[in-house]
Structure 1
Amino acid sequence: MHSATEEIVGFAKQTKFEDIPDEVVEKTKFLILDSLGIAIASTTLPISVQIKEMVYRILGIQSQNMAQRFDFGCTVIGEKDLLPVTHASLLNGSLIHSLDYDDTHTKSVIHNCAPLVPSALSGAEYFQTSAKDFLKSLILGFEFQIRIGLVAPGAFHARGFHMTSIAGTFGSSLVFGLLGNFTDKVIVSALGVCGSMTSGLFEYLEDGSPVKVIHPGWASQSGIVASLLANEGFGGPSSIMEGRFGLYNSHIHGESFDVEILTSELGEKWETLDIAYKPYPCGHVIHAFLDAAKRIYSSDNYSVDSIKSIKCIAAKGTIDLVLDPLGSKKVPRSSYDAKFSLPYCIASILVRGTCNVDNFSEAAINDSKVLKVASLVSYEEDPSQDFPKYFPGSVEIIFDSGYRVIEDEKFQRGCLENPMSEYDIEKKFIDNTTMVFDQSTSQQLLDNVMGLETLENVKPLTEMLRF
C-alpha cells in the first residue's frame, strides 16, 4: 500500500504539460503575473531591505559589493546580481507576501504563489528547464499544497498555525524536485524531510510584528533544502502526512480530518482554478466588508461625519484574526498591524474611499480622521456564515439621524463566485509595477508572462526582474 506522498509524487511525475487543461495553464499565468507585480512593488518597502541585509550577512558579503560573488545563482527580484538558490527563494517569497496583496485559495486558506513561484523560478534557472516545465511543476505544486489544507480546512489556523508556510514547505519541495527530475524515491524522501521544517505561527497578531512576511519565503527555502538533502541520500519518512507522528496527528490531534483528500480527484479536479486574487493589500477575510462599505460610501447623501456607529457582522474565524482584541485593532501599532485590522481598513474606505498600498504608510495609519471612524466599530458574531469556505462580511452603519443601512457581501471579490476580470488583474499588475518601471517595461513583462508557454525558458522573465 502506497503512502499519500508516494501517490502524489507518482501522479506528478507521470503528468505531462499537455495533460493540464488550457484554462488551468491560463489561470496560472495570471497568478504568476499577479505575484510578480506585487513583488516588484514590494521592493520599494523598507522591510525588503531588512531581509536582504540579513541574507548578505549570512553570505558574508556587503550588499554594495555583491557583483561577481557567484559564478552561478538565481534571480532575486529587484537585484542585478544572482544569489544562491535557497537565498533567492527566501527573498522572493518574502517579497511576494510583503504587501499581503497575494492570492488565497479560500477553502484551504493558503497563499499559493508566495511559497511556490520562488521555488519554481529558482528551480527553472538552477536546472535550466523549459518554460513549460516551469509552468507544469508550479501547477502540480499548487494542487498538492492546496490539498494539504483541504484535509482539515481552518483547523491549523484555529490552533495558531499559518497553513501557507506549513503546506508551502511541502509544495516547494515537490516543485523543485520535479524541475530537477529527481526520482520518485528522492522526492518522497524530501517531503518526509519537509515535515521537520514546517513552521509559521499567528502570534504576530498580538503585537503587529511583520514576521509573517517571511513565512512563505522560509517555506520556499526549506522545501528546496529538503530536496537537496534528499537528493544526496538524506532520508525522510514516506508517512509524513498520515503517520502516527505525521503532519496532521502532530499539529491537529483530536480534530477530524480526511487524509484521502490529499489524493482525491488528482488530474480531474483542478483546485488551481479556485485560487482567489486580492483586490486589497490586507487580510483576505477583510475584503468582503470593504466592498460592502464601499457601496455605502458611494451611496447618495452619504456623510462620514454623520456616522454614529459601525457594526461588522462576522464569523468567529474572522473575529479572531482581524477584530479581536477590538481595542488594539482600532489603533494599529504598525503598518503591518493595520493590514489585519478590520476597524482601520473599513475606516479607510469610509473616509477616503480607498484601501490601497498608500493607505498603509506610517502617516496614513495615524490619520486622526480615520482613527476616529475606526473607534466607532463594533462586531457581532454570526455562526451561520459559511467560513472558511468563503470569507463573507456584513456591515451595519447607523447615522446620527437614526438612518440605518446594512450591506452584505457573501463572496469576497476575487474568488470564483465573485471574480476579478482579466482587466482588473492586469490593471493591478500595471499599478504595482509602475511603482518601479515605466509603462512600456511593465507591459513587456506582462506580455512575457502571458506568453510563457511559447518561450524556450524563463530567461525573458528573470532578465527583466533583475533591476
Structure 2
Amino acid sequence: MGFTEGLINYAMDVNQKPLNDQIIEQFEKSFLDYLAVVYTGSKTKTGKRVFNYFNKLGGSDSQALGFDKKLTHVNAAFVNGTSAHSLDFDDGFTKGSVHINSVIFPAVMACVEKYEKTGEDLIRAVLVGYEVAIKIASTIHPYSREKGFHNTPVAGVFGAAAAVTVLLGGKHQEMTSAFGNALSFAGGTFAFLGSGSEVKRIHPGIAARDGIIAAELALEGLQGPANIFERKDGLFDVFSETPIQDFSKDLELFNIYIKPYPACRHLHVVIEALKEFKKNHRNFDIKEIKKMRIGVHKVASYHNHKVINTLIDAQMSIPYAAAVSLIDDDVIIKSFDVDREDRENINHLMNLIDVTEDSDCELLYPKTRKTNIKITMENGEEHEFSYDKKVGEPPNPMTMKDVIKKFSTNCKDIIGEKEMENWIQKVLSIKGNLLKKIF
C-alpha cells in the first residue's frame, strides 16, 4: 500500500474515532486559540487589506470574523486564514514546521456555516484536517524548507481538502480526487524572509480556500490523479527526499504547540532562554554586553536578518527577538512594534548578536528545538548557557486556563466582553451540543 492509500485510510479511520473527553477538550483549546488569533489578526493592516479586497466581491455564505460581514464561503476562508496568521500567533507542529489552525478552522468553519453542519461534524472534520496536514508536513520537512518552500500552504491545502471532503460526506474515491486536485494548488515559498513583505500572511488563507475548492470539485466529479503523493511528478517528487509512512493510531492533535509569543516558532526557544537567564541574573546589565552568539539549528539560522522595517521582519528575526527579550519584561504583541520609542536600543543590541548554525542543535531538530547562547561582557566576563525546554507543547502544553487567558487578553477590546463570553460558552459547551448546528 502506497502513501496516498495509507493516508486516505488513516483519514477515514480518524473520522470514525469515538469523541472522548480528551479529544473534545484538546479540540476546544485549539478552537479558542484559533478565535484568539483570527480576531486579533483581523485588526492588522494586512487583515484589513485582504478583507477589503474580498468584500468588493460580495457574498453571504460565511462570516469574515472581526468584520461583521459575510462573504462567499471560499473567500471567507481566505480572509479568516489570513487574519489568523497575521500576527504569527497561530498554533503549529514542530516536526513538520507547519501552522494548522489558521488553515483548517477557516476552511471547515466556512463550510459548516454554509452547509449548516453540527458540532460533531465540525470536530470530526477539524480532526481529519489536522492529522492529514501534520502527516504530510512531517514527511516533507525539513527537505521542503531547505528548498525554499513554506510547509503551511504546501501541506495545509491537503489538510483542508481532506477536512472538507469528510465534512460533506465524501468517501474514498472523493478523497483520492480531492488530494489529486489539491496538488495543483500546493505552493508558497520563503522568498518573503527579510524582505519586509507581508505576503506570508496570506499563505494559510490560500490553503484554506483552495482546499475547499479541491474538495468541492472532487465532489462535483472532477477526477484528480491517483497516488498523488508517490507518483512521478507527485508531491514527494517535488517537495520531499525520503517519504516516511507513519500512520500510527495516536492523534497528533495532542502534540501541537500553542504559541505563548506572537512570533515565528523558531524564535521561541531563544526568547525562553533569555527570559530564564534574566530571571537567574537579576542584576544583569544589558548595557555592558560586548557581543552575543546564539547557536540554533540550521533552519532557524536562516532567521538572522537585522534590517527591520515591518512587523513581519521583527517577528521572523532572532536578533530582534533576542533584543526585546532582554529589554522587555515580557514578550507580547507590542514588543514587535517597529516604531517603538526605544528602537535605537534594540538596533544596538541586534548589532552585537551573531546567529549561527550549531551542530549540537541541528542534531536534535526537528524532534526538539535547542539554543546554545554565549554572552560576552565588556569586562571580559562570559555567560554561556543552553535551553531546550518546550513551552506550549508536550511535556509543557498550555492548559485550558492559559488558552482562555490568551483569548480574553487579546480579544476583549476587539469584540467586547459579551461576545467574548458568548464564544467561550459556545466552545466549552460543544460536548453537550454535538448534534446541534453551530451557526
Q: TM-score, normalized by length of structure 2?
A: 0.94
Aligned residue number for residue 274 of structure 1: 255
Aligned residue number for residue 184 of structure 1: 172
Give, in whole Å, the separation in 2 of the partners of 1:424 and 1:118.
Answer: 22
- SS of equivalent residue, structure 1 residue 313: strand
Superposed CA offset, 1:307-364 (max 9, x none): 22121111111102x11xxxxx223121111111111111011112332111222312
Question: Aligned in 2, Cα 1:36/1:11: closer, same or farther, shift over 3 Å?
Answer: same
Question: Aligned in 2, Cα 1:311/1:403: closer, same or farther, shift over 3 Å?
Answer: same
Give, in whole Å, the separation in 2 of the partners of 1:439 and 1:145.
Answer: 34
Aligned residue number for residue 265 of structure 2: 284
- SS of equivalent residue, structure 1 residue 115: helix
Give 1:172 deviation, angstroms: 0.4
Give 1:273 deviation, angstroms: 0.7
- 5 Å-filtered alignment, 1:56-455, equals 56-57=55-56, 59=57, 70=59, 72-252=60-240, 255-258=241-244, 260-261=245-246, 264-265=247-248, 268-298=249-279, 299-320=281-302, 322-323=303-304, 329-364=305-340, 367-385=343-361, 386-455=364-433
Aligned length: 436
Question: Aligned in 2, Cα 1:83/1:232: closer, same or farther, shift over 3 Å?
Answer: same
Give, in whole Å, the separation in 1 of the partners of 2:381 and 2:16.
Answer: 57
- SS of equivalent residue, structure 1 residue 330: coil
Give 1:410 deviation, angstroms: 0.9
Q: Which consecutive residues of structure 2, in runs of 5 or more, have no partner in the other structure?
A: none
Give, in whole Å, the separation in 1 of the partners of 2:20 and 2:436.
Answer: 21
Give, in whole Å, the separation in 1 of the partners of 2:390 and 2:122.
Answer: 30
Superposed CA offset, 1:119-138 (max 9, x none): 11012112211101100110
Give, in whole Å, the separation in 2 of the partners of 1:219 and 1:401.
Answer: 52
Kindly indicate whether residue 26 of structure 2 is the aligned counterpart of residue 24 of structure 1. no
Give, in whole Å, the separation in 1 of the partners of 2:428 and 2:16.
Answer: 16
Give, in whole Å, the separation in 2 of the partners of 1:10 and 1:380.
Answer: 42
Give 1:456 deviation, angstroms: 5.1
Give, in whole Å, the separation in 2 of the partners of 1:279 and 1:338.
Answer: 16
Contact 2:43 2:66 in 1 (8 A): no
Give, in whole Å, the separation in 2 of the partners of 1:429 and 1:40.
Answer: 9
| Partner AA of 1:195 in structure 2 | L
Aligned-residue sequence identity (percent) comes to 25
| Partner AA of 1:36 in structure 2 | L
Give 1:457 deviation, angstroms: 6.5
Question: Aligned in 2, Cα 1:18/1:205: closer, same or farther, shift over 3 Å?
Answer: closer
- Give the stretch that moved more between structures: 88-97 or 383-392: 383-392
| Partner AA of 1:26 in structure 2 | E
Q: TM-score, normalized by length of structure 1?
A: 0.88
Question: Aligned in 2, Cα 1:456/1:81: closer, same or farther, shift over 3 Å?
Answer: farther
| Partner AA of 1:342 in structure 2 | I
Question: Aligned in 2, Cα 1:307/1:439: closer, same or farther, shift over 3 Å?
Answer: farther
Give 1:17 deviation, angstroms: 5.7
Give 1:458 deviation, angstroms: 7.7
Give 1:415 deviation, angstroms: 1.9
Give 1:36 deviation, angstroms: 0.9
Give 1:440 deviation, angstroms: 4.5
Aligned residue number for residue 46 of structure 2: 47
Contact 2:143 2:239 in 1 (8 A): no
Give 1:424 deviation, angstroms: 2.2
